[in-house]
Homo-oligomer: A and B are copies of this chain.
Amino acid sequence: MNSDDRNGIDYSMLQSRLGYKLRRAQLVYFDVFFEACAQEGITPGLFSILAIIYHNPGLTQSAVSAALDVDRSAMVAAIDKLESMEVVERRKSKNDRRSYALYLTSKGKTFTERLNRKVVAGEEGFDTFMKEGEREWLLDILDRIIAARQNK
């Protein structure tokens, strides 16, 4: 329980830690996510941007960077790349001529939906390791942990 793992190494101090297991479990899902993205020629970070714009068309670059909690300087190359793939377009904002409003092209919408289906399908492969109702319970408890951070 608190000693051996896969290779004769004793992971005690790490193994018993909930944070450590959350990290390793998250990496399992991340591999699936990463692989699905890679097949379509993008990265998880770029997919996150597409997902935000898909559901919130017209946001500025700064708004997207704030939503994803990365610096706005990081958005420049990211949007450049997505524009070169013709899945996102910058439209000059009319009310504020400093900023762009971001939209998915129709190709971008199709692309994002296909990618999303692929990721969902990949994750479903792990549902077989959960019993009836466990998935909902897991999502619920993760929500409580996430909410706990906001309450400091």
**Could you mark each residue 19-46 of chain A with 1 if its beta carbon is under 8 Å from any beta carbon of chain B, else 0?**
1011111101111110000000000000
Count of chain A residues with Cβ under 8 Å from any Cβ of B? Answer: 57
A126 at interface (Cβ–Cβ under 8 A)? yes
Asked whether A148 and B19 contact (CB < 8 A) given A11-B55, A67-B9, A134-B141, the answer is: no
Write out the residue numbers on chain B whose beta carbons fall within 8 Å of the beta carbon of A25: 22, 142, 145-146
Known contacts: A25-B146, A29-B19, A146-B24. The answer to whether A52 contacts B11 by CB under 8 A is: yes
* Copies of this chain assembled into the complex: 2
Whether A26 lies near B32 (C-beta < 8 A) is no
- Of B3, B14, B21, B123, which contacts A51 at CB under 8 A? B14
Cα distance A142–B29 in the bound complex, in angstroms: 11
Known: A10-B56, A24-B146, A56-B9. A18 touches B67 (CB 8 A): no
Contact A149 to B28, CB < 8 A, known contacts A9-B52, A48-B14:
yes
Q: Is there a chain B Cβ closer than 8 Å to A150's Cβ?
A: yes
* Chain A interface, DSSP helix/strand/loop, else mixed: helix
Structural contact, A116 and B148, CB atoms closer than 8 A: no
Q: Is A130 interfacial (CB 8 A cutoff)? A: yes
Question: Hey, which bits of chain A sit against chain B, CB under 8 A?
Answer: 3, 6-7, 9-14, 17-19, 21-26, 28-33, 48, 51-52, 54-56, 59, 63, 66-67, 112, 116, 119-120, 123, 126, 129-130, 134-135, 137-139, 141-150
